[in-house]
């Protein structure tokens, strides 16, 4: 069961950066920061689910004022302990509903974080919350996987995503409810650990409808941060919705 920090309490926060080390590499972070800095222009940026600052810190180093919202105090403590971390304003709360001070040129959700909201209502609320934070003409950016249901043969509901000598990972799908859970088994120094995190997968067209309910319109959709074309073979997308300037 989650604690007051949700599913990202102390036990997860303590090893989060190491467990997601590949996502902290320059090749993963750099293109995201480049695009978000461009969209922010001279304005402020709001990260929903700021975590330990993987994107917020390098974006702030580009001269962008960044504010974050996050439910997990344990994750935010790691952000605060990093160089430049105290300069990132953070609102503790559920990013689907919590309000940060002021307005922003860009709001963003990265690394599948929209799926941490495990109901359609919560995801709709998130779009409305992002839109409420945006100045006219502002953009809301979401990076998320395309549901990988084509890998499910009839009668199967499990898709492995990592199998090696130290870690086993698999996703369990319920196609009737769009709920899923990621299961992680790790072996370190001969000792095993297990954790499971719930998600709700969401389709690109469904996100577009959520955006329209929030008064936003799709501006761009790419396969990734370097703006490759989004196609039927894409396994993820970076989408940008815009708040009307009028």
Which pLDDT tens digit goes with each residue over 17-65?
Answer: 576 767 768 888 999 999 999 999 989 999 999 999 999 999 999 999 9
158-163 and 134-145 beta bridge pairing: unpaired
Percent of the chain whose pLDDT exceeds 90 = 75
- Res. 119: pLDDT tops 50: yes
Look at residues 101, 100, 95, 102 and name the one whose alpha carbon lies nearest to residue 116. 95
150 in helix, strand or coil?
helix
Fold of the 10-147+202-242 domain: Rossmann fold (3.40.50)
* Count of CB atoms situated within 10 Å of the CB of 243: 22
Position 22 scores a pLDDT of 77
Position 1 scores a pLDDT of 43
Higher local confidence (pLDDT), 77 or 161 = 77
Q: Tokens in use for 111?
A: 């690394």
- Res. 150: pLDDT tops 90: no
Write out pLDDT tens, residues 156-210: 999 888 888 778 899 999 999 999 999 989 888 888 888 888 999 999 999 999 9
Helix, strand and coil content of the chain, in percent to the nearest 5, comes to 30, 35, 35
DSSP for 23-87, written as a single string? GGSHHHHHHHHHHHHHHHTTS-EEEET-TT-TTHHHHHHTT--EEEEES-HHHHHHHHHSTTGGG
Position 186 scores a pLDDT of 84
| Mean pLDDT lowest among 3-17, 136-150, 223-237 | 3-17
Packing angle, helices 204-213 and 120-133, rounded to 10 = 50
**For range 101-116, the mean pLDDT:** 97
Q: Tokens in use for 141?
A: 């950016």
Question: Helices then strands (H, E): number in the chain?
Answer: 7, 11
DSSP element (H, E) containing 220: strand 217-222
* Spatial CB neighbours of 233, under 8 Å, sequence gap ≥ 6: none
Domain spans in the chain, listed from the N-terminal domain onward? 10-147+202-242, 149-197
Q: How many residues does the chain have?
A: 246
């Amino acid at each position: 069961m989650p604690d007051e920090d949700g599913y990202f309490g102390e036990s997860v926060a303590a090893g989060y950066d190491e467990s997601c080390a590949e996502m902290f590499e320059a090749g993963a972070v750099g293109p995201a920061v480049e695009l978000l800095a461009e969209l922010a222009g001279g304005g402020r940026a709001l990260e929903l689910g700021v975590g330990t600052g993987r994107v917020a810190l390098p974006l702030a180093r580009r001269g962008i004022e960044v504010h974050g919202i996050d439910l997990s105090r344990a994750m935010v403590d790691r952000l605060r302990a990093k160089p430049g971390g105290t300069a990132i304003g953070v609102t503790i709360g559920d990013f689907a509903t919590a309000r940060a001070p002021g307005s922003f040129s860009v709001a963003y959700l990265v690394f599948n974080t929209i799926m941490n909201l495990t109901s359609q209502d919560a995801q709709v609320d998130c779009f409305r919350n992002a839109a409420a934070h945006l100045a006219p003409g502002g953009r809301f950016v979401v990076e998320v996987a395309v549901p990988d249901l084509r890998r499910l043969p009839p009668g199967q509901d499990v898709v492995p995503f990592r199998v090696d000598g130290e870690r086993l990972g698999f996703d369990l799908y319920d196609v009737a409810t769009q709920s899923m859970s990621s299961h992680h088994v790790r072996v370190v120094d001969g000792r095993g650990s297990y954790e499971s995190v719930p998600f709700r997968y969401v389709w690109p067209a469904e996100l577009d409808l959520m955006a329209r309910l929030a008064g936003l319109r799709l501006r761009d959709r790419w396969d990734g941060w370097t703006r490759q074309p989004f196609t039927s073979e894409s396994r993820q997308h970076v989408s940008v919705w815009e708040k009307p300037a009028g």
